[in-house]
Amino acid sequence: LTLGEGAGFLLLEPMDEVLDTGRRPLAELYGFGMSSDAHHMTAPPEDGRGAEQAMANALEMADVNPERVTYVNAHGTGTRLNDASEASAINRLFGLRMPVMSCKGLVGHTLGGAGGIEAVVSVISIQQQRVFENIGVSTAADDCPVSIVPAGGLDLSERPVVVSNSFAFGGNNCSLVFGATHEAD
Amino acid sequence: MRLNIHGIGTLSLGLDEPFVQGTGSLQTIPIGDYAKPGLRRKFGRLATMFYVAASRAIENARIEDLDGLAIVTSTALGEATVSLNIVAQIHESRGKVLSPRLVPNSVHNSPAGHLTIGKRNHCPSVTVSQGWLSAEAGLMAAEDLFHAGLAEKALVVFGDEADTSWPGRLEELGATQWARSVASESFQEGAVALVVGREPGGLGLGTVSAGVERIGSPRNDMVSVLEKNKIKLGLGAEIRVRSSAGGVDVLKGIGNGLGIDPDRVCLDGPGLGSAQAGAFIALKQCIERTDSEELLLLGAEMDEIGFVHWMR
């Protein structure tokens, strides 16, 4: 685990208030989901069922099918237990095709700041329709059945939808679903 | 949104044990009644207190199936003794030794993690901290979960630990100024848990709402909090102000304009220890009383005022 320090902030406003003032939002938070592993203080369950539940809850609130998701900004700590567990959950929900990227190879694990930074990166990905590469990893481990974003990054579709995961000690899980604003349609 | 109270559980000085002068620690934490040794040996002190209070609230609410019960934990200081142990180990070993168990137990959400594990609860879990207004923030977090449709009921646990050994240990670490500051705070430890829900409970424990307002002057803006949140107090409502004698004077001077009876305004002073302890102790006492039907708790910190409004 490589620690980093930093913070990321998003200004959230009700969509109707933003549009009433003629401003154009950077992105839209479609939904969020939470769950508890109820398993162990520092180790997630091998099958990642808590992570899967958080992502599924977020997609349900967002009213987004898994097929609509463009990439997953993973919690991705670079530790064996987390990465194998999270990859297993992502694989079950989205299949092997889903590009997965973790910011932590670039900025380290910023602990309480990680979720905010990764949310900002997710929004930037939507704006630029592009996701940058995983730093410090070129191939996924054998027990991580996911497609990691390759060197050089990846161009995304015109209307990307991003799932951003954050998991905490004690097995507290949260997933966010970001996308372009529906009003842009 | 008003939250219906379905159950309450406490483990606190002032409720379960008498207050003491200065910093006050609980003499007994009966965790053995609620958690098996293999589970509880991993708890920090705050997690232990939270577990007891939470278990009592669940019992009081007569909930057997925890499915659908979200968990909110709220603390100003978190597992402060664990954090102090981390500092001490780094200091004494020059950074070479650090017990792996300390780190996960030092985070503010560790009591929530132990609770979800011990209660086998897979529901959403949120931890908040807002200084001495953390009790208010915890209730607001529960409201948010209900607004978002993520739960129908929530277990809200708030409190803080306090240890008379903290100043001495800080002195040993060379943190003399910090030691004096901690000693002067007269922290009193305790935890209270509420089971709250959108629907009315059957025990007649009443309803509660809470909020935190950023204002200019706590002393002068106590009244604007009432107006902004459309709180109209009924006849005989009790108002308790935590740690702000100036706020008491202001409210007493208002008269009956806002339904405030000057004789029913009082200060939760040093005897109630920290502001957060004052909040939940007063709430529990009021819920169990039959003479008062309405209670408004006001707490001030920095440029914020928090309120908890309870009604039968």
Distances, alpha carbon A91 to alpha carbons A86, A94, A130, B132, in Å: 9, 5, 22, 43
One DSSP character per residue, chain B reads: -PEEEEEEEEEEBTTTB---SSSB--S---GGGTS-HHHHTT--HHHHHHHHHHHHHHHHTT----TTEEEEEE-SS-SHHHHHHHHHHHHHHTTS---TTHHHHHSTTHHHHHHHHHTT--S-EEEE-BTBTHHHHHHHHHHHHHHTTS-SEEEEEEEE---TTHHHHHHHTT-HHHHHHHHHH--B-EEEEEEEESSPPSS---EEEEEEEE-S-TTT-HHHHHHHTT--PPTT-EEEEES-HHHHHHHHHHTTTTT--GGGEEEE-GGG-SHHHHHHHHHHHHHH-SS-SEEEEEEEETTEEEEEEEE-
Record: contact B116-A42, CB cut-off 8 A: no
A70 CA to chain B: closest CA distance, Å?
Answer: 25
Record: contact A168-B113, CB cut-off 8 A: yes
Residues of chain B with pLDDT under 70: 218-220, 243, 255-257, 269-279, 290-291
Q: Which residues contact A64 (CB under 8 A, 6 or more apart)?
A: A30, A31, A161, A177, A179
Q: Which residues of A touch B110 (CB under 8 A)?
A: 41, 169-170
- Residue in B109, B110, B122 closest to A35 by CB: B122
Please tell me which residue, A24 or B283, carries the higher pLDDT value: A24
Closest residue in B to A36 (Cα–Cα): B122
* Cross-strand partners of B242: B268, B299
What is the interface pTM, i.e. ipTM, of the complex?
A: 0.92
Instruction: Give the model's pLDDT for residue B273.
Output: 47
**What number is the average pLDDT over the span A122-137?**
94
- A172 in contact with chain B, both atoms CB, cutoff 8 A: yes
Record: contact A42-B121, CB cut-off 8 A: no
Instruction: Give the model's pLDDT for residue B222.
Output: 77
Instruction: Give the model's pLDDT for residue A123.
Output: 97
- Residue in A32, A41, A50 closest to B122 by CB: A50
Record: contact B109-A38, CB cut-off 8 A: no
Record: contact B122-A37, CB cut-off 8 A: yes
**How many residues belong to chain A?**
185
Q: pLDDT by residue (tens digit) across A139-180? A: 999 999 999 999 999 999 889 999 999 999 999 999 999 999
Record: contact A172-B113, CB cut-off 8 A: yes
Instruction: Give the model's pLDDT for residue B229.
Output: 87
B79 CA to chain A: closest CA distance, Å?
Answer: 14
Instruction: Give the model's pLDDT for residue B208.
Output: 93
- A127 in contact with chain B, both atoms CB, cutoff 8 A: no
Q: pLDDT by residue (tens digit) across A31-70? A: 999 999 999 999 999 999 999 999 999 999 999 999 999 9
